[in-house]
Structure 1
Amino acid sequence: MKALSLVKDERDAQVWRALFNQQDVALLVAADEADLVRLCQSEKPDIAIVDMGCMEQPSLTIKSLRTMHIRQRIPYITLLTNAVQKKVLANCIRYAHDVITKPCIDSVCKLKLSQAMLINKLRLRIARQRHREQEIASELEHYQLAEEILDTIAEPCRQHYSNIKHYFRPASKLSGDILLVEQLPHAHQYLFMGDITGHGLAASIASLPITQCFTEAVNQGLSMDEIVVSLNNLVCDQLPDNVFCAATIIELNHQDRRLRIWNGGQPDVLIWRQKAHCLQSLPSNSCSLGLTKSQISTQWGEVKLDDYDRVYLFTDGLVEAKNLQNKQFGRTRLDTYLKACDDMDERFDRICMALSQFTDGAEPTDDITFLEILPELPTEY
């Protein structure tokens, strides 16, 4: 804290010096009226002790002290006066915060200084709060703009398909999880589910080139191997070194119910086999996109689906979701719900409801994406 003083009487000045020294307040002493204004403008003190007897134009001087930093914090102005200066004081009091009658009494000045310091702390707290509110408002504007840009670019890949159910819960306003679907002629459906390092604005921005690359690769008719290589090269070459993307890419042929799966660093892909009434687990067979350019595995698995089978994809945010007791939802709990529900049409919704109830009231720590895919051709096609 910093104080500025212009005091005529040496005894009064000594009282204030002692008090400021006790409170560890840095003291600037003005030589005259002009020096007072100059120091107030350059040093921006928190408190100003001004003796009315030291000024030729007290009203103008005090007004200038009060208004020169109107957009910043202004000093807490205390006037020292005596009975002879009452008429002059009447013109100055509206620009000051407090008045002390001379001669200065140690106990009174100590009380006034404590009051000034307390008020100054409150003003600083309010100023910080207002600054934070401005930062939040600016941040929200940036998020809204980013959200509009992301939606515009990714919207063509977010169309609703009757054979896909999805649950999505971001950890913040913007997400690092990506869900892209491309439906091609001849009953072929491509799906990309990605989980970019981190979450929020930075992760969402990283999703833009990935979205564009996947869409172009699928529509150009590239094979699964070529799609993986293209995406991995993009993450390695165009995104920062500390950004990776765990991803699952699937190609679903609706006609012969054939499912091809490439899983790079994501949780197991789960398939509910209705006829056998069991859960099949297909683990990751590669590292995440962007970890290595030369050793990325393009190996993919292939399975045959029956009409009533269901495929489940999810990011790690699902099994790592925590409740108020800091316990995770967990893979075991997910498997239990998948096996326990006999109604195929309600299984996905019940799991989503169980997850919401489990995490109710807890602060989300990661983005969550959860999908159920049916082998049938979407009704839109």
Structure 2
Amino acid sequence: MKILIVDDDRINSTILNRLLARDGHAVVISHDGVEGVEKFRRENPDLVLMDIRMPRMNGYEAARQIKRLAANRFVPIIFLTAVTDEESLALCIDAGGDDFLTKPFNRTILQAKIDAMERIRRLHGELRRQKETVERHQEQLQQEMEVGQHLFAKIVSAGNLLDAPCLKRWTSPMSVFNGDLLVAAYNPAGGLHIMLGDFTGHGLSAAVGAMPLAEIFYEMTAQGFSLSELVEAINAKLISVMPTRMFCAACLIEVDFRQQSLLVWNGGLPDVLVTDQTGRVVRRLVSNRLPLGVQALTREDRKMEIMEMRPEHRVFLFSDGLIEAPDPSGEMFGLDRLMAHFDGRTQTDQIFDTILSSLRNFRGGAVQTDDISLLEIDCSRAGEEPPGGMPRRSEKNLPPAPWEISFSFHAGTLKNVDPLPTVINAVMSIQAPTGHRERLYTILAELLSNALDHGLLGLDTEMKKTPTGFIEYYNLREERLAALESGFIQLKLMHEPVLSEVDGRRIGGAIHIRLDDSGPGFDYNKVRSSLEGNCGHGGRGIALIRSLCSELAYLGDGNQAEVVYRWMYE
């Protein structure tokens, strides 16, 4: 060890020097406090033997300055003193001393104290190195967490439309990363898809699964896939990439303001609550499916619940973290406290906020034990566009060119696959005129829906005029589609560029659509399809197509439709 002796008594310094040198220590000597501080700065010793009474600077002040210079490095200071009163010894410790040695010196005790300080110094050095290692790991972990947060926010929030006017939401993660996934996006027809997922566990391990699910949700919604196809794709992804113990309790909802309907799939989340104009619960959509990621889904597992959507309806979704939130004593918030807000005495537009206020008051300062999410859907505002207008999918802007594409869907395909996303994405991959995707989607959706529902399945739109008939219509559709054994729908699309009369430039195009189905057809001359004043669930399809297209004609027995859609560069 290198030991600094600070003592104005040269005899004492000489004795200490010889004793220490005999034991193999390197010794540095100074004769007052000022010199001692300077030599400590220059020599960087491992231990200091410090006298108290010295000229220029006493030992107390010198010890304080040396401790400041040592900073995080542990340099023991042993005071050399002839005093034995408690007050003086306490001053030694207060000044930064770690031990003291009374004069005259005993070699055995001196060496024992030095050895003890050396052990402490080494232990302190090891702790300091471990602390620095931990700090480096923490710094690295923090950087990785920041990258993870950035990626999580970018992927999960990309395209998220939780600011849609009809939505009100609140989330409270237990840790930095949220194990609850809440996403929303519009499909090409303007319907709003919403998903609330609650992953197994908390924090980063739970949030990891949210990223691939969010990507699937946004991509498939933008391409026009149905809710049942989203459920199947998300379930398959979870099974393929997540550990067996990880799964996601989830609820997916489609808000279709054009059809005035709600489609709901609930797998493992608490009941979805639907209230009326009084604020009372009129429908509970219970979980009747396993959470996503547990096992492969059957056709029955993919089935949706459908209900009529009325303007006075409000829909409430929440994760189990809400009802399981504890107060400081450990008591849970519970379902009864939640349901007390739906007693009809609270104004409907204030229920959401009163639930949050009640939850905060109940929890007090209790530690949060789970991620918490709460979402309200105000059906009266379902048709309102989000701030900044409807989002647009990134599309190609290729010069108009002639092309032709055809599809043939038979019963085996139609009963298992929605043909619409296949058709619309094939068209968009060839010619994607900006701003026209939604209109083309609507036209093709109506044509294919009419051909399948009325042509092949023989369903009657009149059934949808009453709330019970509306539900029966879609239940019957599921039954007949599952039993479909024969029939076909053939679709042909042909595109022709439109030229400018002035300079012959290609300024747009005309898409000719022909659809044939194997159904019996209908008397199209007797159909009275209207958009004006039609607030029902059906009877608008033909009028809607006609309003969007420049030409619409039904041929033969009514099972052939020809449409021309013209577009110009916007």
Establish whether TM, by shorter chain, passes 0.5: yes
Whose Rg is larger?
2
Q: Is the Cα contact below 8 Å between 2:74 and 2:121 reproduced in 1?
A: no
* Corresponding residue of 1:170: 173
Q: Is the Cα contact below 8 Å between 1:261 and 1:301 reproduced in 2?
A: yes
d(CA) in 1 for partners of 2:249, 2:327: 24
Amino acid at match of 2:348: M
Q: Is the Cα contact below 8 Å between 1:246 and 1:264 reproduced in 2?
A: yes
Report deviation, 1:374.
1.6
Q: Is the Cα contact below 8 Å between 1:168 and 1:369 reproduced in 2?
A: yes
d(CA) in 2 for partners of 1:136, 1:201: 16
Q: What secondary structure is seen at the aligned counterpart in 2 of 1:198?
A: coil
Report deviation, 1:118.
7.4
* Corresponding residue of 1:255: 258
* Corresponding residue of 1:149: 151
Query: How has the CA–CA distance of structure 1 residues 217 and 184 changed in structure 2, closer, same or farther, with 3 Å as cutoff?
Result: closer
Q: Is the Cα contact below 8 Å between 2:175 and 2:202 reproduced in 1?
A: yes
* Corresponding residue of 1:373: 377
d(CA) in 1 for partners of 2:279, 2:341: 17
Q: Is the Cα contact below 8 Å between 1:76 and 1:120 reproduced in 2?
A: no
Q: Deviations over 1:3-43 (max 9, x none)?
A: x9xxxxxxxxxxxxxxxxxxxxxxxxxxxxxxxxxxxxxxx
Q: Is the Cα contact below 8 Å between 2:273 and 2:315 reproduced in 1?
A: yes
Q: 1:290 aligns with which of 289, 293, 297?
A: 293
* Corresponding residue of 2:318: 314
* Corresponding residue of 2:209: 206
CA RMSD of aligned residues (A): 3.8
Q: Deviations over 1:201-226 (max 9, x none)?
A: 22222211111111122222222222
Amino acid at match of 1:303: M
Q: 1:195 aligns with which of 182, 195, 198?
A: 198
Report deviation, 1:364.
0.9
Report deviation, 1:132.
5.1
**What stretches of structure 1 of length at least 5 have no aligned partner?**
5-49, 81-95
d(CA) in 2 for partners of 1:328, 1:258: 35
Amino acid at match of 2:149: E
Structure with the bigger RCO (C-alpha within 8 Å, sep 6+) is: 1
- Answering whether residue 362 of structure 2 is matched by residue 336 of structure 1, we say no
Q: What secondary structure is seen at the aligned counterpart in 1 of 2:329?
A: coil
Report deviation, 1:200.
1.3
TM-score with structure 1 length normalisation?
0.70
* Corresponding residue of 1:243: 246
Q: What secondary structure is seen at the aligned counterpart in 2 of 1:157?
A: coil
Report deviation, 1:152.
1.5
Report deviation, 1:279.
4.0
d(CA) in 2 for partners of 1:359, 1:312: 21
Report deviation, 1:163.
0.1
Aligned residues: 314
Report deviation, 1:324.
0.8
Query: How has the CA–CA distance of structure 1 residues 353 and 300 changed in structure 2, closer, same or farther, with 3 Å as cutoff?
Result: same
Q: What secondary structure is seen at the aligned counterpart in 2 of 1:242?
A: coil
Alignment map for 1:178-189 (pairs within 5 Å): 178-189=181-192
Query: How has the CA–CA distance of structure 1 residues 277 and 326 changed in structure 2, closer, same or farther, with 3 Å as cutoff?
Result: closer
Q: What secondary structure is seen at the aligned counterpart in 1 of 2:366?
A: coil
Q: What secondary structure is seen at the aligned counterpart in 1 of 2:244?
A: coil
Query: How has the CA–CA distance of structure 1 residues 306 and 135 changed in structure 2, closer, same or farther, with 3 Å as cutoff?
Result: same
Alignment map for 1:1-381 (pairs within 5 Å): 51-55=20-24, 58=27, 66=46, 103-104=106-107, 134-159=136-161, 160-274=163-277, 277-293=280-296, 297-375=301-379, 376-380=382-386
Amino acid at match of 1:244: F
Query: How has the CA–CA distance of structure 1 residues 122 and 184 changed in structure 2, closer, same or farther, with 3 Å as cutoff?
Result: same
d(CA) in 2 for partners of 1:307, 1:56: 90
Report deviation, 1:134.
4.9
Q: Is the Cα contact below 8 Å between 2:187 and 2:223 reproduced in 1?
A: no
Report deviation, 1:268.
0.8
